[in-house]
Amino acid sequence: MRILLVLLALVVATSAFDFNVLQDKVLALLRKAEHATLDPIIDAAVKDALAETAKIQRPALLAKPHSDGSLRFRILQIPDLHYTNLALYPCDHKPDTMLGLCVEAYMTTMVSKMLDDVKPDFVVFTGDQLEALHFPQTWLGSLAAINTYAAEVEKRKIPWAMVFGNHDENVDPYLFANKHVMMAYIESLPHSYAKFGPYGIGGAGNYELRVAAGGASLHLYFLDTGKDGTVSAGQKALLRSFAASHAPEKAPALAFYHIPVQEYNDFNGTGQGSKGEAVSSGVMNTGLFDTMVQMGDVKASFCGHDHFNDYCFLRGTVHLCYGGGVGYGAAYAKGDHPRTARVIEWSVSPKNESNHHLALQAQHQKHRRQVLGLPARRPHCLSQP
């Protein structure tokens, strides 16, 4: 069957047919043939690994005292790294002001500098950490790439979590990067708080975390938006169950996922940041935004996917925010467009624990004589009385 796929590729590549459509059909047939024999083997191994990682006790996530008496928790969102794990992989459009060669290894230097400048309490990678779609990576290769993108966070012992993007898994996960295998491995890393979540509801990595600040709390929701932004009924039901389980707290929540919902198209320039490209949301609106509104606790959602968008705006009761794009190497870029990440800071008033404040701040990576700086844009804030 795999030989047939190669032959088809050779024949169709020079024809008038849409090769991508035909390739998808052939791969679907391959997956259908392999499901019955390979899925049980993979699932059994993954579930055994998850049973072991479930025994790991992670320290509680706690907001830290600040000089003004408040408790604060700072999150750094790192979007769209696209690691091939080849240190010398050339950059797609290096920064115009950058001297010398631009290669993937520079991305690790940038992440290191960003962590030291921001000093986050928590890091969230919002998808496309790997470039496994256009640059096939074996299972072992994908685990090595995970070690690379998480290295600077692990080195500093910073708690972190992640969601998958559409480039993290290969089109043939039976031979190349497989989300189930990767998530089982990610759960085992020393400072990872990521979880596989329920099996069989769509993707891998649908879960919740809690941050405590005295008697107050902040809930973090993580969702796998798959290859095309589709969110299943099971995933939405899981989110609703999270919100219902702590409804009496009236605590705020933040949602992290990779592919933006269609409502991101409603940005009209009012808010923070700018729109540098069209919104690449899923073709179908599967109701994730409406679900977040109905839940009532989600104050903001954060995605990646579209590297040239870094805006954040209020749509109804939910702030819809991009992280931008951080990647060097395989990540698509422009010479005159800065790499961006986002800082999210939650603070709780010392006098009133119900007074929550969220600052959503875009951070730009700019280059000057090959020295990385991290000047901040004006913070975009939202308060919950």
Average of per-residue pLDDT across 10-17 = 39
Instruction: Please check whether residues 101 and 224 belong to one and the same domain.
Output: yes
The structure tokens 């998850």 sit at 50
- What is the rounded distance in angstroms from the CA atom of residue 282 to the CA atom of residue 369? 40
Residue 160 lies in a domain: yes
Which range of residues forms the domain containing residue 29?
A: 20-55
Domain for residue 3, yes or no?
Answer: no
User: Do 26 and 145 belong to one domain?
Assistant: no
128 and 100 inside one domain:
yes
pTM of the model: 0.87
CA atoms within 13 A on the CB side of 358: 23
- pLDDT tens per residue across span 274-303: 999 999 998 899 999 999 999 999 999 999
Within this chain, do residues 115 and 211 fall inside the same structural domain, yes or no? yes
Q: Are residues 173 and 267 in the same domain?
A: yes
CA dihedral of 116, 122, 128, 129, whole degrees rounded to 10: 50
103 and 46 co-located in one domain: no
Establish if 13 belongs to a structural domain: no
Does residue 342 sit within a domain? yes
- Supply the CATH number for residue 161's domain: 3.60.21.10
In a domain, 179, yes or no: yes
Whether the per-residue pLDDT at 358 is higher than 80: the answer is: no
Structure tokens at 188: 């085992």
List the structure tokens of 336: 């005159």
Does the structure show a pLDDT above 50 at 68? yes
Same domain, 34 and 163: no
Q: What are the pLDDT digits (tens) for 77-86?
A: 999 999 999 9
Domain match, 152 and 74 both: yes
**Given a cut of 90, is residue 266 above it in pLDDT?**
yes
pLDDT digits (tens, 9 = 90+) for 92-123: 998 998 888 999 999 999 999 999 999 999 99
| pLDDT for residue 4 is more than 60 | no
Same domain, 111 and 129: yes
Q: How far is CA 385 from CA 235, 250, 262, 354, 382, in A?
A: 29, 11, 29, 7, 10
Structural domains of the chain, count: 2
Residues 209 and 146 in one domain: yes
Give residue-wise pLDDT tens across range 180-221: 999 999 999 999 999 999 999 999 999 999 999 988 999 999
Residue 40 is predicted with a pLDDT of 85
Residue type, 238: L
Where does the pLDDT of residue 351 fall: very low under 50, low under 70, confident under 90, or very high at 90 and above? low
User: Does 46 share its domain with 191?
Assistant: no
Q: Report yes or no on 251 lying in a domain.
A: yes
Are both 32 and 153 inside the same structural domain?
no
